[in-house]
Amino acid sequence: MKKDFPITLTIAGSDSGGGAGVQADLKTFSSLATFGTTVFTCLTAQNPDGVSGIYEISPDFVSSQLQAVSNYFPIKSAKTGMLYSKDIIKAVAAFFYENPDIQLVLDPVMVATSGAKLLKDDAIQSLIEDLIPLSKLITPNLDEASLLLGETINQYDQLVPMAKKLYKKFNVPVLLKGGHLPNAIEAIDVLFDGNSVYEFSKTFLKDKHTHGTGCTYSAAITAFLAHGKNLAEAVGSAKEYLHLTLEDDIVTGPIHHLNHFPEPSN
């Protein structure tokens, strides 16, 4: 009997270097036994050293892609990555407003690891007002959470109160990722769903190239939700998967990249 693969969707930008964006999402979806579909928001000219160009897809064509995919496929869960502009965000929000049964994981991508801006200044308010309220989960890192709250987050003992503060502000579950904490021994993330706090911790892996980790993490959560796991289970399984992709990284020329098809650890 053939296996039924649930349908997942990524709405994000293209990474020509293959390590992040739609490319990382599709690898993750495939690795975790879902059938990945795509909506492109931007094309980027980039490699792990940085982004040298961004070409924005028109909001009308973003909407056309969304309709083409959803008219055919029974999408179980979706994620957003690089949305870039206010008009694209509004087009995506209109789709999820009409399709509330699709579980949405929102990765509030604002700045690339290399420092390149991936969200226009006037788009942040639209993200907050139009799309975050339609999400099942938002997954900010410390820099993104600091921008959303207007205050700096750089200590472990801030993670739980700031996750709760984000929930209070947006009224959606929050996964606050603590991997950027200075001098961290453990990579600790905090999930607050409005009732309970969950901590997910893995040993911090030094000297690893982390390009694409945020995309991979949110895509893995999306995949596990599509398989029917609840939110805390999906985040926990995604955390394990992300750790394996870093631990079992692959050589890709001058650097190593995440291995989206890792061998299970013994």
Q: Given 214, 222, 239, 245, which residue is catalytic? A: 214
Whether 14 is in a domain gets the answer yes
Q: Retrieve residue 197's tokens.
A: 């706090």
φ and ψ at residue 58, rounded to 5 degrees:
-65, 145
CA proximity to 112, closest of 32, 34, 16 = 16
CA dihedral 82, 232, 102, 140 (to 10 degrees): -20
**CA dist 187 → 67, 159, 166, 180, 197 (Å):** 38, 12, 20, 8, 16
Q: Of the ranges 35-49, 123-137, 176-190, 208-222, which one carries the lowest mean pLDDT score?
A: 176-190
CA proximity to 201, closest of 185, 186, 184, 181 = 186
Contacts of 198 (CB under 8 A, 6+ apart): 190, 191, 192, 232, 235, 236
Q: Given 212, 216, 239, 245, which residue is catalytic? A: 212
Whether 264 is in a domain gets the answer no
Whether 209 is in a domain gets the answer yes
Q: What percent of the chain has pLDDT over 70?
A: 97
Q: Given 19, 215, 239, 245, which residue is catalytic? A: 215
Which pLDDT score, from 0 to 100, does residue 50 have? 85
Bridge partners, 252 (sequence order): none
CA proximity to 242, closest of 204, 211, 216, 215 = 216
pLDDT (mean) for 5-15: 97
Strands 75-80 and 50-56 come out as unpaired
Instruction: Count the domains in the chain.
Output: 1
Q: Retrieve residue 67's tokens.
A: 């309709």
- To the query of whether residue 177 is one of the catalytic residues in this protein, the response is yes
- To the query of whether residue 236 is one of the catalytic residues in this protein, the response is no
d(CA 138, CA 123): 16
How many secondary structure helices (H) and strands (E) does the chain include?
8, 11
pLDDT tens-place string over residues 224-251: 999 999 999 999 999 999 999 988 889 8
Whether 2 is in a domain gets the answer no
- To the query of whether residue 210 is one of the catalytic residues in this protein, the response is yes
φ and ψ at residue 36, rounded to 5 degrees:
-85, 130
pLDDT (mean) for 102-122: 82
pLDDT tens-place string over residues 122-138: 899 999 999 999 999 99
Q: Return the CATH number at 225.
A: 3.40.1190.20
Q: Tokens 């907050």 identify what position?
A: 128
Whether 162 is in a domain gets the answer yes
Whether 263 is in a domain gets the answer no
Which pLDDT score, from 0 to 100, does residue 113 have? 62
For residue 116, is pLDDT > 70?
no
Q: Given 18, 177, 179, 236, which residue is catalytic? A: 177
Angle, CA 163 vertex, CA 28 and CA 222 arms, to 5°:
20
Q: Given 80, 213, 216, 245, which residue is catalytic? A: 213
- To the query of whether residue 213 is one of the catalytic residues in this protein, the response is yes
pLDDT (mean) for 150-173: 94
For residue 161, is pLDDT > 80?
yes
Which tops the pLDDT comparison, 110 or 227? 227
Whether 123 is in a domain gets the answer yes
CB 118 within 8 A of CB 110: yes
Which pLDDT score, from 0 to 100, does residue 253 have? 79
φ and ψ at residue 41, rounded to 5 degrees:
-105, -30
Which pLDDT score, from 0 to 100, does residue 192 have? 98
For residue 42, is pLDDT > 80?
yes
* Structural domain for 77, as ranges: 7-257
What is the residue-averaged pLDDT of the chain? 92
Whether 112 is in a domain gets the answer yes
pTM for this structure?
A: 0.96
